[in-house]
Amino acid sequence: MRIERVWFEDEKIFIRTDTGAEHGQSLMWYPRLQAATEEQRSAYRLSPCGIHWDEIDEDVSFESFAYEEPEPLNPIARAFKAMPFINVSQFARMIKIPQSVMASYIAGRKIPSEDRKREIEAALHQLGDKLKTISL
């Protein structure tokens, strides 16, 4: 298989092979690539096994495009996956909900009400605001 084109669209990376087949996958599995600029994303090189970005030290194997795409994560799961350094138990305590309920929201086993979603979002924003006040 030879790759003829690599492109990005709607939080996904796509490839087109020399046979005309097109495959895509979510950038959520590649946080460095997801956060990269367009210039960084366009600075890739192809190898026999996949695509490599030297500047951001990221690799995507060709075989990974053949994997079945899992169901998309819910917005709360996406937020916590993007920031794995947040302690979910402590966060749940901070907003005064049981850790098991927060874990169920993240896993998609429970769907929070719109009010609860706004509460979680506001708490994440407050956390960000607190981080911005830190001076070293």
List all residues 6 or more positions away from 27 whose beta carbon is below 8 Å from its beta carbon: 8, 11, 12, 13, 33, 34
Start-to-end CA distance of the chain, whole Å, equals 51
Average pLDDT value for residue range 54-71? 83
Confidence check: pLDDT of 73 > 80:
no
Confidence check: pLDDT of 58 > 80:
yes
Asked if 23 and 51 count as a contact pair (C-beta separation under 8 A), the reply is no
116: three-class secondary structure by DSSP: helix
CA–CA dist 7, 42 (Å, integer): 8
pLDDT at residue number 87: 87
Confidence check: pLDDT of 55 > 70:
yes
Confidence check: pLDDT of 54 > 90:
yes
Average pLDDT value for residue range 84-113? 88
Strand partners, 124: none
Percent of the chain with pLDDT over 90: 49
